């Protein structure tokens, strides 16, 4: 069993990955961030720097990191997957596509030391299935970090059919060092959070498609009547409409239940490049 | 209102207000924002927006937001943002 986790390999520099990187840096870990897109890495460096400086305004428990040399010494941003070879733990946040994840995990399996655990920060794909992409299924676990990770004190952790108690213990230690409480659940596609939340987001898209209400009004009802911090459509925009669509596709494929069929409006928006906040247009437009 | 407050109000740079309002409006889709409205407490934006707002302010007005400046109250209204930016720009001169 791994004794000490100091350096974490984070794969995928999308929205969720960047939040996780900042969270880890705020809590004293070193990070190797890998993405195969140079553009994503350039954007990542800027956003990480801004978040490390400014996030404490939102949560006073976080201590600002404004020293560029400290950031440079603790964060390695790279397009080379091989650079995670000395990492003590891996957190994967890549696109919700089975073929991409399978190829990645097979490479990680050969790059990382035998005792290293892999945490899939996947949206919906079964952790047991991901474990099957590797030769170390007992060391694969799901950690469903929410966005932005550094503001969340609770995290859904998914135990695959073969995930060992040691892997759960390492994960618990890591998350406790990040000041998080974990809720351990069993493994079925979408787990608890996304299996429910994606139905909300998908149905909200149907409501807009049916011209029952405008996006702002749908969200207003959820925020002001139900007391949610964010409405389903602004949440979908934040996650990325492509990610939401891919997750719905995984849920649909997995359960073969029509309640998970993706709303045609959502598909059309993704096809038209309206991917949400990350491209400044989705259900809302952003500056 | 004392004389100091009066003086502050006469020194408000409307161009700063316009640029900040334009940025917030583009994010929210709401054009009319009272300069004394607390944008966080009113629900116009959530606290996460503060990071984008501070990044915008630094770039737009060529000033530096330091760790000592990290108070949500400083950026909570258009009027307070204007005061902050004006003070920073003045101290840069």
- Note the ipTM here: 0.76
Task: Kindly report the three-state secondary structure assignment for every residue of chain A.
Answer: CCCCCCEEEEECCCHHHHHHHHHHHHCCCEEEEECCCHHHHHHHHHHHHHHHHHHHHCCCCCCCCCCHHHHHHHEEEECCHHHHCCCCEEEECCCCCHHHHHHHHHHHHHHCCCCCEEEECCCCCCHHHHHCCCCCHHHEEEEECCCCHHHCCEEEEECCCCCCHHHHHHHHHHHHHCCCEEEEECCCCCCCHHHHHHHHHHHHHHHHHCCCCCHHHHHHHHHHHCCCCCCHHHHHHHHCHHHHHHHHHHHHHHHCCHHHCCCHHHHHHHHCCCCEHHHCECCCECC
Q: CB distance B55–A151 less than 8 Å? A: no
Q: Of all residues in chain B, what percent carry a pLDDT higher than 70?
A: 85
Q: CB distance B71–A57 less than 8 Å? A: yes
Chain A, nearest residue to B58 by Cα: A50
Instruction: For residues B35 and A270, give the distance between their C-alpha atoms in angstroms, rounded to a whole number.
Output: 37
Among A13-17, A133-137, B36-40, B62-66, the range with the most confident prediction by mean pLDDT is: A133-137
Question: Would the CA dihedral through A73, A74, A80, A85 be positive or negative?
Answer: positive
Is A43 annotated as a binding-site member? no
Q: Is A185 on the interface with B (CB under 8 A)?
A: no
All structural domains of chain B with their residue ranges: 35-93
Q: How many Cβ pairs closer than 8 A exist between chain A and B?
A: 46
pLDDT in tens, chain A (287 residues): 556 899 999 999 998 999 999 999 999 999 999 999 999 999 999 999 999 999 999 998 999 998 899 999 999 999 999 999 999 999 999 988 899 999 999 999 999 999 999 999 988 899 999 999 999 999 999 999 988 999 999 999 999 999 999 999 999 999 999 999 999 999 999 999 999 999 999 999 999 999 999 999 999 999 999 999 899 999 999 989 999 999 999 999 999 999 999 999 999 999 999 999 989 899 998 86
User: Is 3.50.50.60 the CATH number for A193-279?
Assistant: no
Instruction: For residues A250 and B54, give the distance between their C-alpha atoms in angstroms, rounded to a whole number.
Output: 38
Neighbour count for residue A261 (Cβ, 10 Å)? 14
Selected for mutation to probe chain B from A57, A214, A280 (highest B CB count within 10 Å) is: A57
Q: Which of A137, A176, A183, A187 is nearest to A157 (CA)?
A: A183
pLDDT at B9: 46
Q: Which of A30, A37, A26, A32 is nearest to A10 (CA)?
A: A32
Q: CB distance B23–A284 less than 8 Å? A: no
Q: CB distance B72–A57 less than 8 Å? A: yes
How many CA within 13 A on the CB side of residue A53?
21
Q: What are B55's two structure tokens?
A: 């990044």
Fold of A7-185: Rossmann fold (3.40.50)
pLDDT at B66 over 80: yes
Task: Tell me the shortest Cα–Cα distance from A57 to chain B, in angstroms.
Answer: 5
Instruction: Give A139: exposed, middle or buried? Use CB within 10 Å, 0-12, 13-18, 19+.
Output: buried
Contact A195, A156 (CB under 8 A): no
The owner of tokens 């927006």 is B49
Length of chain B as a residue count: 93
How many CA within 13 A on the CB side of residue B2?
1
Q: CB distance A64–B70 less than 8 Å? A: yes
Nearest-by-Cβ selection for B67 from A64, A230, A286 = A64
pLDDT at A2: 54
Instruction: For residues A163 and A166, give the distance between their C-alpha atoms in angstroms, rounded to a whole number.
Output: 8
What residues 15-74 of chain B have any CB closer than 8 A to a CB of chain A? 23, 26-27, 29, 43, 46-48, 50-51, 54-55, 65-67, 70-72
Chain B, nearest residue to A286 by Cα: B27
Task: Kindly list the residues from chain A whose CB atom is less than 8 angstroms away from the CB atom of residue B51.
Answer: 50-51, 54-55, 57-58
Q: Is the whole-model pTM more than 0.90?
A: no
pLDDT at A287: 67
């Amino acid at each position: 069993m791994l004794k000490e986790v100091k350096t974490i390999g984070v794969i995928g520099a999308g929205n969720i990955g960047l939040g996780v990187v900042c969270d880890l840096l705020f809590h004293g870990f070193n990070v190797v961030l890998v993405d195969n897109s140079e553009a994503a890495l350039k954007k990542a460096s800027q956003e990480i720097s801004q978040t490390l400086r400014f996030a404490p305004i939102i949560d006073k428990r976080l201590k600002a990191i404004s020293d560029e040399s400290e950031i440079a010494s603790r964060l390695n941003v790279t397009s080379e997957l091989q650079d995670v070879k000395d990492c003590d733990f891996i957190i994967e946040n890549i696109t919700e596509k089975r073929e991409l994840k399978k190829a990645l995990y097979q490479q990680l399996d050969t790059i990382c030391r035998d005792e290293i655990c892999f945490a899939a920060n996947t949206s919906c794909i079964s952790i047991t299935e991901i474990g099957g992409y590797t030769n170390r299924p007992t060391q694969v676990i799901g950690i469903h970090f929410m966005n932005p990770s550094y503001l969340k004190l609770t995290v859904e952790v998914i135990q695959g059919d073969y995930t060992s108690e040691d892997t759960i213990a390492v994960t618990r230690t890591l998350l406790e060092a990040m000041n998080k409480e974990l809720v351990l659940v069993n493994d079925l596609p979408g787990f608890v959070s996304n299996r429910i939340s994606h139905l909300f987001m998908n149905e909200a898209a149907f409501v807009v498609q049916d011209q029952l209400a405008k996006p702002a009004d749908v969200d207003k009802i959820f925020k002001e009547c139900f007391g949610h911090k964010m409405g389903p459509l602004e949440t979908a925009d934040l996650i990325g409409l492509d990610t939401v669509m891919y997750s719905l596709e995984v849920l649909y494929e997995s359960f073969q239940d029509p309640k998970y069929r993706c709303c045609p409006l959502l598909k059309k928006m993704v096809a038209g490049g309206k991917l949400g906040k990350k491209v400044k247009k989705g259900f809302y437009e952003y500056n | 209102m004392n004389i100091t407050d009066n003086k502050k109000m006469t020194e408000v740079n409307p161009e700063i207000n316009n640029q900040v309002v334009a940025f917030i409006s583009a994010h929210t889709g709401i054009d009319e924002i009272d300069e004394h409205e607390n944008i966080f407490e009113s629900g116009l934006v959530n606290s996460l927006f503060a990071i984008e707002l501070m990044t915008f302010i630094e770039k737009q007005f060529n000033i530096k937001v330091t760790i000592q400046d990290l108070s949500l109250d400083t950026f909570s209204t258009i009027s307070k943002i204007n005061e902050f930016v004006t003070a920073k720009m003045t101290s840069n001169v």
